[in-house]
């Protein structure tokens, strides 16, 4: 099966798409058998020590629980945007 690469231009059209515009007819229902055999695979994580400015850490902590996950998402977004 050939993998389709979507450019930023193609992805923008999905930003404005409503759920009601999506045709689900060709997508099979997931039944109990699927979930019985499904494997949950979490992404690998690596614990690191990094020095950040105190005000940066304070700001993320003030955003509430899950601040480390949000920092990871921000770093991932930056990485993916700047990948060659």
Residue carrying structure tokens 């099966």: 1
What letter would DSSP give residue 48?
Answer: -
Q: What's the confidence (pLDDT) of residue 84?
A: 73
Report field, pTM of the whole predicted structure over 0.85? no
Please report, for residues 40, 56, 67, 80, the alpha-carbon distance to residue 43 in angstroms, rounded to integers and kept in the order given: 10, 25, 17, 16
Q: Give domain limits for the chain.
A: 45-84
Higher pLDDT, 22 or 12: 22
Tens digit of each residue's pLDDT (9 = 90 or more) over 26-65: 998 899 999 999 998 988 999 999 999 999 999 999 999 9
Q: What's the confidence (pLDDT) of residue 6?
A: 64
* Range from 2-16, 19-33, 67-81 carrying the lowest mean pLDDT: 2-16
């Amino acid at each position: 099966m050939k993998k389709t690469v979507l450019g930023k231009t193609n992805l923008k059209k999905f930003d404005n798409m409503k759920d009601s515009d999506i045709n689900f007819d060709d997508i099979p229902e997931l039944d109990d058998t699927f979930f019985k055999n499904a494997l949950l695979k979490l992404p690998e994580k690596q614990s690191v020590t990094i020095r950040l400015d105190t005000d940066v850490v304070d700001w993320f902590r003030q955003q509430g629980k899950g601040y480390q996950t949000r920092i990871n998402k921000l770093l991932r977004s930056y990485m993916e945007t700047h990948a060659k």
